[in-house]
Amino acid sequence: MNQPDALERFRLTGRTALITGAGRNIGAAIASGYAQAGADLLLVDRDKEAVEDVAESIRASTGRVVATVHRDVGAADIVDQVAGAAEAHFDAVDILVNGALAFGATGTHSADVSTAQWQDALDVNVLAPARLSSLFVNTLVKGGPGTIINLLSGAGFAPVPLAAPYSMSKAALWMLTRCFAKDCAPRIRVNGLCPGTISPDGVARTEELRKATPMGRGGRADEVVGAAIYLASDASGYSTGDVVYVNGGFTGLTGYSDEIIGSDPVGRPRTGRRSAG
């Protein structure tokens, strides 16, 4: 029986990917990986300078078409902004990666989180992926097959002390992933990608977190790219409503303890600060 070349199934040649939170860290690494695999890109981030730097670097190194949108994904007009950019630069969009995130608040007891802080996490982590996924399915794909990848978090599977908005919203994003997967199959596949603690050099932020991770270190953004390419490509053609973990064995084995959170700078008090958008 003739079968397609195994490695060729991972290629993204001729496809276009829309990636939010693309100005840094995991989003930027996925954008670069997709371009190297053959995809053109529409990158969204509220940080204009950061996302333009990523776009220019990818254009120079791969020659791919890279368009950008400078907007907070939690904004009410994000769908109009993205739709306009997609129409101006591409015939269709085949891949959507919802990568932007907001913490809402950390270092705050659940009972003390303000309505605005709950809403901040919901706007970016749940409502933006819902709006963009609807746009993708109904308009951007143009009737063809497509795939949506939502960046999840271990916080969505086990509650993180003093980070209730983030945990709550990431749990909701996992359910959103499953709902879209069920409703949109078989034309559109929808999966979750769950990274662990990611740093530029793969060093865990604290010694407590390192000890709690079976791999004994943090992860690097480039170590998430392979799973992102798999989920976007024909290689994962029978996967929908699934989640791929790239977290050093952390989720499901240890969970987040008060000791780990207390030692981690990310768990210190903050309000409304988003890491990407």
- The catalytic site residues sit at 166
Task: Name residue 106's beta-bridge partners.
Answer: 270
How far apart are alpha carbons 247 and 123 in whole angstroms? 25
Task: Name residue 41's beta-bridge partners.
Answer: 17, 66
In terms of C-beta distances under 8 Å and separation of at least 24 residues, what long-range contacts does 53-56 make, across chains too? 53/23, 54/22, 54/23, 54/24, 54/28
- Give the number of other Cβ atoms within 10 Å of residue 112's Cβ: 10
How far apart are alpha carbons 277 and 273 in whole angstroms? 10
Which residues, 6 or more positions from 29, have their beta carbon under 8 angstroms from its beta carbon? 221, 222, 224, 225
- Give the number of other Cβ atoms within 10 Å of residue 256's Cβ: 22
Tokens of residue 113, six digits: 């989180």
Three-state SS letters, 146-184 = EEEEEECCHHHCCCCCCCHHHHHHHHHHHHHHHHHHHHH
What is the enclosing helix (H) or strand (E) of 243? strand 243-246
Sign of the dihedral defined by the CA atoms of residues 251, 170, 74, 104, in that order: negative
Tell me the CA distances in angstroms from 174 to 1, 148, 163, one per residue in order: 38, 12, 17
